[in-house]
Structure formats: structure tokens, C-alpha cells
Structure 1
Amino acid sequence: MPTPSCTSTHVRDHTRKSVRRTPARRAAVPLATAAALLLCGPLTVAPAYAADQPGGSTDEVKPPAHMSTVGGKRLGRPGIQVDLKQGAPALPKGLSGKSWLVADAESGDVLASYNAHWQLPPASTLKMLFADTVLPKLPKTKTHKVELSDLEGMGEGSSLVGVKENYTYTVHDLWLGVFLRSGNDAVHVLSAMNGGVPATVRDMQAHAKYLNARDTHVVTPDGYDEKGQVSSAYDLTLFARSGLQKADFREYCSTATAQFPGTYTKDKKGEKNRSSFGIQNTNRLLTGYGVEHYKGIAGVKNGYTSHAGSTFTGVAQRGDRVLLVTVMNPQKAEANEVYKESAKLLDWGFEASGSVNPVGTLVRPGTAGASHPSADGKDSHKDTQASVSADNGSSNGLWTAAGIAGGSLALLGAAAFGVHRRWPLPELVRRRSRD
């Protein structure tokens, strides 16, 4: 059973009002505070902005009457959009997310949606865009000695993996901190390596535009609540789909546990050795902590802030079919509700595949994707099949179910291909699912 993380009462009780009063450029998190958080234990860095608290801001009770129609006219309409064929399973009951979407990851067909283009605070799911933007620029073996200035600007109560100034980390270490612990400290160090936070925000906004994620406005690279920072279930799904084209992205988002570099200690001979501590992915459908592990899950990213509520984008595979799901801000006041509703939608999507007409499509990047014909269940999808950008920004065609599995094949060996293709998970997770 995974070790639960400790979260301070101060962090849990952090209110939207205090977030709004906090200036956009904050002082660095005090070192004493960061040290105190690390004393909770190896898995105890506060997951304030990647946890599973129910609720969130309810300032806007209803979505706009008219939203973006990127991906199809029906996706711009408020309310549930689904086109069931005869004999198709009904949508799950009890869904409370303010916005959600289920799509076929390969064809790009949107199987069903609810307020798909409603612009809402994304919380740490915005880190998918951060990773998709910055990850290709920094070799995973590159090292960086952290300066105090690298950690400036983090919001109060930020989730931390435990990065320390004057310590050296590899890019690989930092990405594990981003994906597993949703560490805003790791995000800010990687941003510093990318030219700084303002430059990274500009890069992210430009990449969102290239992906035709027109609902997204980036203010911070880590997803922390800021005025005007919004995205949508549709855009978050685009970010996940694009990111999953990258082997490193697949590796990080599907990793359940890892070791993160700690401090230096001296052994009996007086030699310095660097310790490490365990970190665990905050995606509970992946780890099975507090909610049933979802068989076939392979990532992607969860988030939470007091303003955004809980957000989640996930990818799962059954047989040769791969589905993406995004749920934003469930209104049911129950722990882990975002995961429960995501699991229900995935179950429905796998059962309904082939028995529903698509209500839209995940568009391809670039100007061709932006000008696609509307996909509202009547248009041909031959020209709207959403190919995804390659690492160099060019399109390399549709990606396959095996592509998700490919990220970890080097670790498991070719002999595991048959099993790994069906369940694209780290060995630890697959082994637990059989217990």
C-alpha cells in the first residue's frame, strides 16, 4: 500500500480569496518552510495543488451560451453532447464535473462531451502543456545547479518535490518531480533552464496556439491560480494527446514511483554520498491509492487548487483501443471524485466505442487543423482525422496504441511487448493489478 503524503492544514484551507490577493510575482517560498515540509518524510511534500479535494469555485454556475467551435459545432454548445446509436450504452449517471470530454486517442473522434470548451482554471493539468513545450528542448542527461533565484515566484502553498538550492539535478530528475509530485519547484527550475518564467509562459502560449488550443491563456507555467489563467477540457485533451507522442513524456506520466535525489551525507570513511527518497505519482488511478486502480491506465496528469477544484486528464488502453478523458471540477463534495468520474467515463467509452457517432474531433496542429470542417456527426472524418505533431513540430501521421507502450519497452525488453502493448504501465503497477 502506498504511503500517504502529509498535507498541512494551512495548505488545505488555502482560500481562493487569498490567491487573488497574492501578486503575480511572489517572493520565493521561505527555505525554512520548504525544509519543514521535507521533514514529513520521503513522500510528504505538500500536494496542495495536485491533490484530490472536492469542489472549487462556483462563481460561474452556468457555461457561456456560445463557446469555441474548434473541433466541431456541437462542441461549442453547452450541456451534454452525445449521439448514441441503437443499442449503445447510456452515459454514466451522477457525473458532476463542470466540464468533461471522452475521445478516441488515435482517430481523434470525440465520443461525448459536456461543456467541452468552457474556459475554467486548469490547476496542475496545465503542466501537460508545460511538459509538451519544454521537454524537447532540454536533454534528459543535462545537469543544473539550482540557484535561489530559480525558485522565486512560486505561489503560497505550492506543491513541492523537494528541490534545494545549491544542489545539482538532472533534467530527468526534475521531470520526475513534475509528473509524480506535481512539484512547482521542479517546474520553476526547468523554466529557469528554458530562459526564465516569462519566456516559458510565452513559449507555452505559442505552443497552445499551434495546437489550436484556443481556450487556453497561460499566466504561470505550473498551473497555480492566477487571474485570467484558463483552459478547457478540450484543450487539456489536446495537450495530453500531443505530449503522448514523446517517449519521455510517456515514460514520466506512466511512472508510479521513483527515487528523487536528496542531500549529501558522509559515510564512516568521510566520503560524501548523496541520499535519495521515494516519490509517488499523485495520479490515483495509476497508483490505486484511495481509489481503485484503473486497469490499463497510462497517465496523464491531475491537479487541484481551491479555485479550480480537482482536474484530471487520463489515457487508458484496452486491447488496441486507446481513450483520453478529461474531467474538470466535479461538484460532488467527495474525495477522489474526479477519479471516480473519469473511471466511469472511460468504462463507458470502451463499451460505447463503435456504437456512437462522434460529436466532434480533436483537431490536428497548425493552420490545417484550425480550418478543418466542423465535425458534428454529419461531416466526413477523412479530412479531420487529427494527426499529432512530432517532436520537431511537424506532423508524422496518426499514432498507434503501441506508441504508448513504446516509451517503456527499453526497460522491460522486447519479450514483454505483447503484454505491455495491452497494458501500457510500469511493471510495478501491472504487477499490483494482478495481486
Structure 2
Amino acid sequence: MSAKMTALTVLSAALLAPALLVAPAHAAPTPPADGKGGPAKAPQAPAPPVSMSTVGGSLLGQPGTQVNLLPGAPALPTNLTGRSWLVADAESGEVLAAHNAHWRLPPASTMKMLFADTVLPGLPKEQVHKVTEQDMDGVGPGSSLVGVKEDLEYSVHDLWLGVFLRSGNDAVHVLSAMNGGIDKTVKDMQAHAEELQALDTHVVSPDGYDAPEQVSSAYDLTLIARSGLQKQDFREYCGTANAKFPGRQEAGKPREYFEIQNTNRLMTGAGGLSPYKGIAGVKNGNTTMAGSTFTGAAQQGSKKLLVTVMNPDAGGANSVYEETAALFDWGFAAAGKVKPVGELVPPKSADTSSHGSPAQSHENNPSAAGKGSGGVGTALAVAGGVLAVLAGGAFVVNRRWPRGRRSRGDRPRRHQYQRSSTGQNLA
């Protein structure tokens, strides 16, 4: 090879080297090899267990979609990607349709519904607590926070607004400290879940922060929400769109407050969504392990529905809300046109001897409802994008239990935990 030819070859190699080191701007990444010389297959979404709990009815223990459409009933939405979901009548407890209802999945901050339903009745809302450094121990990195500060005083009412509106793990830890500590609170929550017959639920952290073995199900979350909505204070907090939260407090100066907004996008219309007509709560959540989760309550006319959606496969921050809204639309249109596929069971201690007996409320001080920093004291209805406050206690769930007590042989069995290779508890 001539000297001139050699120089051209070296120059070409030098010019090509940077291009070889930089991937094309729009090139798709090459999947890793499958060990047989070919590209690896895309990871498949996990499948639900073949056998799940049958609490609430045998159909609810089957994988896949369960619905019994009568003549004239609308078809289910076609764009549902949630790994698990459920639509139920909030008052009768009839399950209108469900998909993998008892699949035990990480719940994210929807676990805070159980936390509130367990702890709220024991802490008077006017009680004031000065936050200590120890109260804030264990708040996980990357947690959602409302902005609770050490050495400042907060009322219980303030803290619950922080829990429901901003999903504040800092507020959860302070309330847990007031309840006797994290360990006691977790035990209390587990005991309450078992009393409600939410037997898919295993509590590890009171705030829903990702933790191995912490699971619930669409069925259980709906059952828990239904219990919580019978408490006036619970309805107030989960139905509040905006509130003032206490900020800095300096000697000789009025305390500062800042605005907080509910992270429930079906209520506020944030993220480009339209507020859902008749929405009244309840709680959303999102973590790495859980994906997006949401349990909502809504009323149109005299019909009150509960919908839970867990971990939609569709991308986007709004997918869990869009699928919930689609199931609400279907549920209101399908009311009276479907045969229930199951029921939300009563608590173990409930009197099921007759229909129509509303459960007793567990309010600490009903006369104080609505007082404090910004609570509306009521569920919210949404019409034309404008939040309208209904009369106090408008969204009230009066549970109607199935007639007659279950015989011993019919009582749902508690699940044994099986440790999988990933350390997650599975039914």
C-alpha cells in the first residue's frame, strides 16, 4: 500500500471514530441478548394468581374480569389496563364488576385509608401536639411531605388534612407517635383490617411507603374506604380540595399558613383532567413498587359508588384517574342492569340480622366538624369544573349488611403468607 493510501485510511478512521462512539439520537436501544444469540424478549407483565381469596363471593376469587350483564346493560370500558379493579355500590355493598379483585399488590398511599380509619377515632381533632425529632424518625427518603416541622405545634385536624390532601408521610409519623408509636400503629391497623375482613391486607408501614411484604387488594381497599366513609371526620378530610396548613411560628408574630391542594386529580382537575361530577374522595397513591393506585367515591342522584384501580399498565400520570372515571361512568349507567358478582362483606362483629341498619359512627366530637384550618366538613360535588360544597354529611354511607349471620363453615378463612423468591407475600 502506498504512503498516500495509508494516510487516507488513517484519516478516515479518525473521522469515523467519534461517530462510532456516539449512538444515533433516535435509535432504539438494542435489547440484551437472550443467551442464545438473539435479542431478549420484552419482560411480560406479572400474571395474577390462579387461586385467590373468595371473601365476598367465589367469582371474586377468579382471575380476569367478572361481570354479569343483563339486557340493556352497557359494555365495560375497553381501555382498562389496571392489574386489579373493582366497582361497588357504596351502600348495598354489591360488587357490580371486578378484575382480579383479590390480587394482593403493593397499595402505596391508599394504605393511609386504613391508617385513618384505625387511628382517627382515638385522637380528638382539637388536640394540639408539639412535634419532636423522634416523631419524624423513619420517614422514608423521597416521601411525599406536607411540611411538618420539628418544635412547632399542630392540631390533629391540621395533621389529618396533611395526610389526606398532600399524602404527607411526615404527618402520618406524627399521628402514629401520638397513637403510641409506629409499631403499635401497625399492629392496630392489622387488627382493624382483620376486623373488617380485609384479609388480603398485610401492613408493614402506616404511610404506605414501599416495603417488602406490604400488600392489599382492590377488594380490601374498597372495603376499607367504605368503612372510613361512615365517619364524619374521614369524609371531611378526604372531601377537602384545598386548605391552609400551618407554617412558621415566630415569637410575637402571627403564625404563617400556606395553601395545600388535594393530590386527587378527579377532585381538583389538576394535570389537565376535568373534575369528575359528584366526586367525594377518597385516596390516591403512587410508588415505584405499586405504580399508581386510587380508590374513589362518587354520587350521582341517589346512587353512590366506590371504585378502586390498582397499577394500570398504561403510561402517564393520569391513567389511574382516567380508568377510574371510566368505571364510574359505567357503574352509574349499569346500575340496576347487572347481576352482582359479589359483595363487600360486613365486619366480623357486625350485626347482620336485618337489612337497613346503618353502622354506628365513631366520631370523637361531631360538633367540631368543619372547624380548623380550611376543612370543608363535607363531601364535595363537582359540576362544570366548579367545586360545590354540599350540605354537611351529604355523602353518608349507610351500610346494608346481607341478611343473617354467616355460619361457621361459611366464614372466610385467613390466608397464610407464602414468601416468593422476591420476598413479597403472596396469597
Structures share a fold, TM > 0.5?
Answer: yes
* Match status 1:158 vs 2:116: no
In the superposition, relative to structure 1, how do residues 243 and 422 fare at CA in structure 2: closer, same or farther (>3 Å)? closer
Aligned mates of 2:323, 2:229 — CA distance in 1: 22
The correspondence for 2:247, drawn from 231, 237, 262, is 262
Higher helix share: 1
* SS of residue paired to 1:66: coil
**Aligned counterparts, 1:23-172, within 5 A:** 61-172=46-157
Aligned mates of 1:134, 1:95 — CA distance in 2: 34
1:258-309 alpha-carbon deviations (Å, 9 max, x no partner): 000000246xxxx222100000000000001121110100000000001100
In the superposition, relative to structure 1, how do residues 87 and 364 fare at CA in structure 2: closer, same or farther (>3 Å)? same
Paired position in structure 1 for 2:292? 310
Paired position in structure 2 for 1:226? 211
1:34-87 alpha-carbon deviations (Å, 9 max, x no partner): xxxxxxxxxxxxxxxxxxxxxxxx886110011000000000000000000011
Aligned mates of 1:89, 1:293 — CA distance in 2: 23
For the 8 Å contact 2:280–2:379, the answer to whether it is kept is no
AA of the residue aligned to 1:331: D
Paired position in structure 1 for 2:183? 198
Tell me the C-alpha RMSD between the 2 structures: 3.0
For the 8 Å contact 1:363–1:385, the answer to whether it is kept is no
Paired position in structure 1 for 2:318? 336
* Match status 1:391 vs 2:362: yes
Aligned mates of 2:290, 2:357 — CA distance in 1: 28
1:172-215 alpha-carbon deviations (Å, 9 max, x no partner): 00000000000000000000000000000000000000000000
* SS of residue paired to 2:254: strand
Aligned-residue offset at 1:156 = 1.0
* Match status 1:362 vs 2:333: no
For the 8 Å contact 2:139–2:169, the answer to whether it is kept is yes
* SS of residue paired to 2:388: helix
The correspondence for 1:276, drawn from 238, 249, 257, is 257
AA of the residue aligned to 1:229: Q
* SS of residue paired to 1:277: strand
Aligned-residue offset at 1:421 = 8.9
Paired position in structure 1 for 2:267? 286
Aligned-residue offset at 1:367 = 5.3
* Match status 1:174 vs 2:162: no
Paired position in structure 1 for 2:419? none
For the 8 Å contact 2:280–2:380, the answer to whether it is kept is no
For the 8 Å contact 2:281–2:379, the answer to whether it is kept is no
AA of the residue aligned to 1:423: A
Aligned mates of 2:211, 2:172 — CA distance in 1: 16
Aligned mates of 1:312, 1:422 — CA distance in 2: 17
Aligned-residue offset at 1:111 = 0.2
For the 8 Å contact 2:196–2:348, the answer to whether it is kept is yes
AA of the residue aligned to 2:261: Q
In the superposition, relative to structure 1, how do residues 191 and 103 fare at CA in structure 2: closer, same or farther (>3 Å)? same
Moved over 2 A (4+): 382-390, 420-425
The structure having more radius of gyration, on CA atoms, is 2
For the 8 Å contact 1:181–1:279, the answer to whether it is kept is yes
Aligned mates of 1:209, 1:392 — CA distance in 2: 21
Aligned mates of 2:355, 2:218 — CA distance in 1: 19
* SS of residue paired to 2:191: helix
For the 8 Å contact 2:279–2:298, the answer to whether it is kept is yes
Aligned mates of 1:264, 1:199 — CA distance in 2: 31
In the superposition, relative to structure 1, how do residues 387 and 236 fare at CA in structure 2: closer, same or farther (>3 Å)? farther
For the 8 Å contact 1:365–1:389, the answer to whether it is kept is no
Paired position in structure 1 for 2:388? 430
For the 8 Å contact 1:101–1:234, the answer to whether it is kept is yes
For the 8 Å contact 1:242–1:388, the answer to whether it is kept is no
- TM-score scaled to structure 2, two decimals? 0.75
In the superposition, relative to structure 1, how do residues 59 and 216 fare at CA in structure 2: closer, same or farther (>3 Å)? farther
Aligned mates of 1:122, 1:102 — CA distance in 2: 17
Aligned mates of 2:100, 2:359 — CA distance in 1: 23
Give aligned-pair identity as a percent.
63
In the superposition, relative to structure 1, how do residues 236 and 385 fare at CA in structure 2: closer, same or farther (>3 Å)? farther
* Match status 1:235 vs 2:220: yes
In the superposition, relative to structure 1, how do residues 246 and 368 fare at CA in structure 2: closer, same or farther (>3 Å)? closer
Structure 1: gaps of 5 or more residues:
1-57, 373-381, 394-406, 412-419
Aligned mates of 2:350, 2:235 — CA distance in 1: 26
Aligned mates of 2:355, 2:56 — CA distance in 1: 9
Aligned mates of 1:79, 1:385 — CA distance in 2: 32
In the superposition, relative to structure 1, how do residues 298 and 147 fare at CA in structure 2: closer, same or farther (>3 Å)? same
* SS of residue paired to 2:189: helix
Structure 2: gaps of 5 or more residues:
1-42, 390-427
For the 8 Å contact 2:221–2:308, the answer to whether it is kept is yes
In the superposition, relative to structure 1, how do residues 197 and 128 fare at CA in structure 2: closer, same or farther (>3 Å)? same
For the 8 Å contact 1:256–1:428, the answer to whether it is kept is no
